[in-house]
Structure formats: structure tokens, C-alpha cells
Amino acid sequence: MRSVLLGAVTALTLIPAVAQAAGETQIVSCHGCSANRARATAEAAVSRSWGPGVYEVYVIDTPGNRLRRYLVTSEFEGRLWEKYAMARTPGADYRRWFDQARSEWVYVNAAAKPGIVLGSDIPVRSAEDVLGSAANQMVVSEQINRNIPARIGSLFGAALSMFRTIFTDEIFIEVGFADGSTALFILDRIDSPLSGHMFVYVYKKGSARDSEGNAIPDSVAAFDPFDGRFSSEYNFEIFQRRARMYGADGLDPIRNFQPLPAHVVCAWGDGGTIKCWRR
């Protein structure tokens, strides 16, 4: 029997989707899948280029707490190619690795729900600071790891693949900053330095909010539409800086700049309200 390893996923991408040499076990994810969809996922994971043979595929459903094993037969007759998967009982090692990795996922997912608040001693003091800054996002990621440290030691081979694939189911954590702003961070991948494993979290686009709950625009699309209310001069200054980046008209003293192709227009309202749209 031949088997294959491939890091394909159907949700959050933690493993590069690069076909590996035949001879390794393939581990893929299909979260919340029915039996039929899981079977189809196993069949889809086998490439025509691998040639005829029987390939071993494990399909992981993290939230459903299911580990499915399939033997996928790949057959050729002339130009015709056919694949079909047969369900089999997971091997003991893979079941153990799955149980350990999912236990870690449950721990991280539960610990992330309350969120964290960064202290004033952390150099990243506002949600605005993480927008477009990979370095500042890494600072926040390191702080999240200090609050929710990984509990699994060094892994390699199929055990590490199982661990990473378990975590393709999305985990979000709300981060509060010293100025009262907030942003969501999403678990993006798992790095494996010599010292062990580290979860890498990145900013979730569109999630930054100031201390009054107004969106902190991080793209032109964020102005289409934008509806905010500002009683804080500090928050309004943040909005002005972001609006200037995207060429917003109608906000004194923002004048005489080159608009972007998707031009932004903003208008004052009563009570410190601002509405923006793209024209």
C-alpha cells in the first residue's frame, strides 16, 4: 500500500497546499462535514499525477471531534481515471495524535473567548498600530502566546501534520489596547522553532474599533458605507488619519490631496456623526 502527505485544508490555511511525494500519509481537514462530504474530500485529495494505487487519507473534523480514515483507490483504463474511497478504522497512533491535538485546540479555543487586554507597557498601544504592520501584529501575537501558551512539546512528521490540521478550524481572540480600542486576531498558522511550537495570530481585516465602537477604516471598502459618532477628539484624529490615506473629501482640514480611483466622500452630521461612502 502506498500513502501520501498533503497539507490541503478547507478552512483556515495553516499548511501550504503542496503535493508531497507518494509514500506518506495524507492528512486533510473537512470541518463540520457529513460522511459523504468527508469521503469526497478524501477522494479529491488524491492527484491524478500520483498514478494508479491505493492511498491512505485521514480526514479531520475538529469541531465535530471526528477522525476518519479512508483508503482511496486510483485506477486508470486508457484515458479514463476513477477514484473511490473506502472507510477504514483509524490507526492507534493517529487516533492518539488526534486526541492530543484536539485537546489542545479545545484549550486554546476556550482560553481565547474572554480575550486579552494589553498593558500600557506594550509598545503597540492602539488597534490602529497593527493596520498594515506585520511587525506590530507579531508583537501582539507574542503577547497572546504569553497569555495562552502552547502546551504541546516538540512534534514532527505525521504527528505535527495532525496537530497543524486540527487547528485549521478558525480561532478568534479579541485584543484590547491601552487607548481603549480593540481588534480581532485570528490564528493563522503554527510555527515550530527549536524551542517548541508557537501559535501565530494575525489581524482580522475589518475588525478594528476605537474606544467608542467606531470602525477604524483599514481599506477603501471600509468607507462604503461608514457611519460613526465621535465624542472623543483622539478617536476623531485616528479617523482623520485613516480617511486621509484613502482620499476622503469633506473633512476639514483635509484638502488638496490626490484621490484614489475608488474616491471616498465624507459628510458631517449632527452630534459629531460622520457618514462616508465611495462615489
Half-sphere exposure of 230 (CA within 13 A, CB side): 20
Same domain assignment for residues 176 and 145: yes
202's grid cell: 494575525
195's grid cell: 524551542
Angle between helix 92-112 and helix 157-166 axes, rounded to 10 deg: 40
Q: Distance between CA 258 and CA 254 in Å, rounded?
A: 11
pTM: 0.75
Residue 50 covered by a domain? yes
Tens digit of pLDDT per residue, the chain (279 long)?
Answer: 444 433 333 333 333 333 333 457 899 999 999 999 999 999 999 999 999 999 999 999 999 999 999 999 999 998 899 999 999 999 999 999 999 999 999 999 999 999 999 999 999 999 999 999 999 999 999 999 999 887 776 677 888 888 889 998 889 999 999 999 999 999 988 886 555 567 899 999 999 999 999 999 998 888 878 888 888 889 988 988 888 887 765 554 444 334 444 566 777 777 678 887 766
Give the range of the structural domain holding residue 125, as residue numbers without chain letter.
96-154+167-203
Q: Distance between CA 49 and CA 155 in Å, rounded?
A: 30
* Cβ atoms within 10 Å of 22's Cβ, excluding its own: 17
32's grid cell: 463540520
Residue 210 covered by a domain? no
200's grid cell: 501565530
Same domain assignment for residues 198 and 104: yes
Residue 161 covered by a domain? no
Residue 197 covered by a domain? yes
Whether the upstream peptide bond of residue 253 has omega within 30° of 0, thus cis, is: yes
Same domain assignment for residues 236 and 264: yes
Residue 162 covered by a domain? no
